Structure 1
Amino acid sequence: MSSTTRPYGSPSLGTTQRDRDRSVRRRERAEVALIALCWVSVVVAVMLFLGSGRPAQVTDLASVVTAAGIVTGLIGTDLLLLMLVLAARIPWVDRTFGQDAAMRLHRRLGKPAVYLVLGHGALLTVGYSLRDGLSLWHQTLSLYSGADMLLALLGSCLLVLVVVTSLVVVRRRLAYEAWHAIHLVSYAAVLVAVPHQLSAGQVLSGSTPQSVYWICLYVLAFGSIAWFRFAAPLLATEEHQLRVAAIETLAPDVFSIHLSGRDLPRLGARGGQYAIWRFWSRGTWWHAHPISFSAVPTDTSARLTVRALGRGTERLARLRPGTKVSVAGPYGIFTDAARTAPRLAVVAAGIGVTPARALLEDTGLRPGEATVVLRATDRSQTFLWDETKSLVQDAGGAVIEMIGSRPAEESSWMPLEAIERGATIASVFPELQESDLFVCGPAEWTDLVVRDARAAGVKDRQIHVERFV
């Protein structure tokens, strides 16, 4: 382990810190508002049903069970549409919470939504069975004899497939391409339920407040998907005319993709962000890649740095100059805009150095503001380290290199040599509680850094994470 001489003193808070405090408060209020909107949406869906006159028909056990089935279906569908909004990559949502946070909420809503939709089908079957005096088997055959109900059943099966493939044990066995393709069917799963809502549910029919609400929610969900996931990226791709300029090999499985284009600052990319890239060559056009910028784009150039983790990313190393590139984004709040404290602490491992290097370039470091730990198992993983060290040291900051394997018997993110010297996260970053901690690297390793930071008293709002496979 080696380090530079650590400068003394810290920058004053000044106006910059006051601006950061105001920004933090705005983000916190916005986060509460988004969660509240999700709850309000569910409450509105239920209240509109209660005001539709349908509850007046609840007179016996059969109608009670049927009404319960309708309510569970409405809540489940409402949650599914909210999930689509969260997955639409709406810029306001991304700037406020980050795409990772939005997708965490998206995943949290997934299982309840599917359970409610399945409960909807089961309760309606039981309710109709009680009403008609049929066995559950015969009622099921009768209920799903129509085309709209068969589509609703298909939608439920597709949703179950999405949930099953989201389980960690299953997700790890699937290629990214297969997992992504399966999750695209969630759009189809919601769409195929529309005929059911038109006929059986009567939710979208007429011009009642209930139908207006559901039509608006459907338009918001699918309109957001259509614009932000498809139309906006197409327009950005056409505007910037991105092409592969060159491929630069940095290590046996690591390479940089240099891009050329026009008016690239209009992308609005901040150091630390990533975008979704599609490279239009024969072997790569069908696969979209989330890749971080490893340098802040100039007017006519951008750089991505990639570690080959599978066949999809391996093919990118063989891209030819002139290959057309599509872009969606940028995304993420792993940027200077997310900072809350006067000092900056960065821990980066492996390919995690890419967003860290771009973040440091974009920050405009003040003298002595930053302390950076660069972590690698061996010297072959020190790509982009020279650039990163220059950015920090030119601003009078400290860079600490940690090279070596972690001890097998101990849960630590540091190498054995550092542990034997008594190094801790508090000794590496003596002003850690007055710092924003940016951590980027493998997911399991990152969790260990975050664990130590929290144990040292760092607040969650000061911890910013970018995880890599």
Structure 2
Amino acid sequence: MAIDSQRSSRLSTPGVDHPAHYRRRARVGDALGIALWLTSAFAVALFLFSGGTARFGSVADAVTSVGIATGLVGTNLVLAMLLLAARVPFIDHAIGHDRAIAVHRALGKPAFYLLLGHGVILLIGYGLSSGLDPVAEIGPMLAIPDMLLAILAIALLAVVIVSSAALVRRRYSYETWHLMHLLSYAAVLASVPHQLSIGSVLSPFSFERVYWLALYILAFGAILTHRLAEPLVSSLRHRLRVERMEPEAPGVVSIYLSGRRLRSLESVGGQFFVWRFWTAGTWWHSHPLSLSSVATDTQLRITVRDLGGGSRSISSVPAGTRVWFEGPYGIFTDAGRTAPKLAIVVAGIGITPVRAMLEDSVLKPGEATILLRASTVDDTFLWGEIEELARQKGVAVTMMIGPRARTGPGWMTQADADRGLTLLGVFPDLLASDLYLCGPTSWLNVVEADARAAGISDHQIHAERFDW
């Protein structure tokens, strides 16, 4: 997108707006964390003030009440997870989609353990109350209205949690994992009847019932609005279709998409969209892919690498295929800069957002340095475009081609490690720079660790990991 020079200068001039921008992100992130704790505490307080305190007259009642409170907190965390994954513009712009999803993932296990503990503690409490052991109490508990739906909800949530573990996730394609992850919506919906049917906790017409229904409406309303309604309306308005395919390297292809009024999307170089290609073999899965060039009013470009069945299938869709999308998302843009210099380290398909960000940025000669990293010559796709943009903008470019070093810094080639090259050697002004990193997660983690060891501050690091 060809944005006006005034806006570009504001986004790209470090040391003025950008520290405030970073502090604002930090404040919003802290506020979201505080809100999470406050809503959990409020859920428990509502339970106590609506009769919960009367249930602490005996050990059995106290244990049962703790079990109920545990379930309420767990449910609150699950609803917060849904909201964080709903791609709400305020959250995405304030802390970034990547950070929101990181918090979403971090809440998964605590929420699951709380809900599982909710069931176990209730078994113990009911057992103490009736004089039965917890195992014998299972039968009567199953007779509670909608209990089977609650057990189904826990089982579905367990599938989602297990499938999200890194070791398990690698065994599946992104498309399979994504479909499994959608079970979290079914899990939450299955739990609603159970929660509302316990009249002594959420009695009809009570403020507590209204409060919880409002939370459910907020979470699912955000999902329906930002994951379904808005993308549907935007896709119909802009009428994207595949215009043509252009091979960039073995297993790498650029897809040119044509549409109308695309500048009104206000996408910025470095952002990504979630794409859905309407063919018989691809309509059922979506793909988060960054723009690989700045949008014009009638054209977008993405570059896809064959990393599995899903990316392979969209690399051969025919011209004229209708494309639906969500976005733009992400804050891997120069709007987050805080330092006077810019350092960029990129490898593999990570070249796509970096190429678009470089094109969209207004830079002074000598302000930026880019390190391009590839294992083989076949991995140097789009490097020519990066070099041309760098020449136009006065950006220094360093290239590294070869397998990762076995000794020395593992992110560089063995030859570079043997001659004692360091990150500070490539970027002498690293500590006065914003460091943008994009590439495979394992490689990127090594670069980031090296940068931190060199003394760069956390707020100067902007990482885009190709992971899910």
TM (norm. structure 1) is 0.95
Which residue matches 2:342?
344
Aligned-partner Cα distance in 2 for 1:412–1:187:
40
Which residue matches 1:378?
376
Relative to structure 1, the CA distance from residue 415 to residue 201 in structure 2 (aligned partners, 3 Å threshold; closer, same or farther) is: farther
Which residue matches 1:7?
none
Secondary structure in structure 2 of the residue aligned to 1:393: helix
Listed as ranges, the gaps of 5+ residues in structure 2 are 1-8
One-letter code aligned to 1:93 = I
Aligned-partner Cα distance in 1 for 2:33–2:361:
30
Secondary structure in structure 2 of the residue aligned to 1:271: coil
Q: How far 1:277 sits from its partner (Å)?
A: 0.2
Q: Of residues 38, 41, 52 in structure 2, which corresponds to 1:40?
A: 38
Secondary structure in structure 2 of the residue aligned to 1:299: coil
Which residue matches 2:278?
280
Aligned-partner Cα distance in 2 for 1:16–1:440:
21
Relative to structure 1, the CA distance from residue 344 to residue 41 in structure 2 (aligned partners, 3 Å threshold; closer, same or farther) is: same
Pairs within 5 Å for 1:181-330: 181-200=179-198, 202-330=200-328
Which residue matches 2:71?
73
Which stretch of the first structure deviates more once superposed, 207-216 or 369-378?
Answer: 207-216
Aligned-partner Cα distance in 2 for 1:359–1:14:
11
Aligned-partner Cα distance in 2 for 1:154–1:96:
35
Q: How far 1:268 sits from its partner (Å)?
A: 1.9
One-letter code aligned to 2:220 = F
Q: How far 1:209 sits from its partner (Å)?
A: 2.9
Pairs within 5 Å for 1:80-229: 80-200=78-198, 202-229=200-227
Q: Deviations over 1:130-187 (max 9, x none)?
A: 1122333332111112450110011011111111111111111122222111111111
Aligned-partner Cα distance in 2 for 1:368–1:207:
66
Which residue matches 1:460?
458
Q: How far 1:201 sits from its partner (Å)?
A: 5.4
Alignment of 1:430 with 2:396, yes or no, is no
Pairs within 5 Å for 1:391-402: 391-402=389-400
Aligned-partner Cα distance in 1 for 2:40–2:17:
35
Which residue matches 1:419?
417
Aligned-partner Cα distance in 1 for 2:451–2:312:
35
Which residue matches 2:3?
none
CA contact under 8 A between 2:74 and 2:110: conserved in structure 1? yes
Relative to structure 1, the CA distance from residue 202 to residue 363 in structure 2 (aligned partners, 3 Å threshold; closer, same or farther) is: farther
One-letter code aligned to 1:100 = D
Q: How far 1:430 sits from its partner (Å)?
A: 0.4
One-letter code aligned to 1:306 = V
One-letter code aligned to 2:151 = L
Relative to structure 1, the CA distance from residue 201 to residue 400 in structure 2 (aligned partners, 3 Å threshold; closer, same or farther) is: farther
CA contact under 8 A between 1:204 and 1:215: conserved in structure 2? no
How many residue pairs end up in the alignment? 458
Which stretch of the first structure deviates more once superposed, 232-241 or 404-413?
Answer: 404-413
Aligned-partner Cα distance in 2 for 1:221–1:14:
35
Q: How far 1:202 sits from its partner (Å)?
A: 4.7
Q: How far 1:204 sits from its partner (Å)?
A: 4.3
Which residue matches 2:447?
449
CA contact under 8 A between 2:269 and 2:359: conserved in structure 1? yes
Q: How far 1:408 sits from its partner (Å)?
A: 2.7
Q: How far 1:94 sits from its partner (Å)?
A: 0.9
Relative to structure 1, the CA distance from residue 141 to residue 411 in structure 2 (aligned partners, 3 Å threshold; closer, same or farther) is: farther
Which residue matches 2:5?
none
Relative to structure 1, the CA distance from residue 241 to residue 377 in structure 2 (aligned partners, 3 Å threshold; closer, same or farther) is: same
Secondary structure in structure 2 of the residue aligned to 1:374: strand
Cα RMSD for the two superposed structures:
1.7
CA contact under 8 A between 1:244 and 1:259: conserved in structure 2? yes
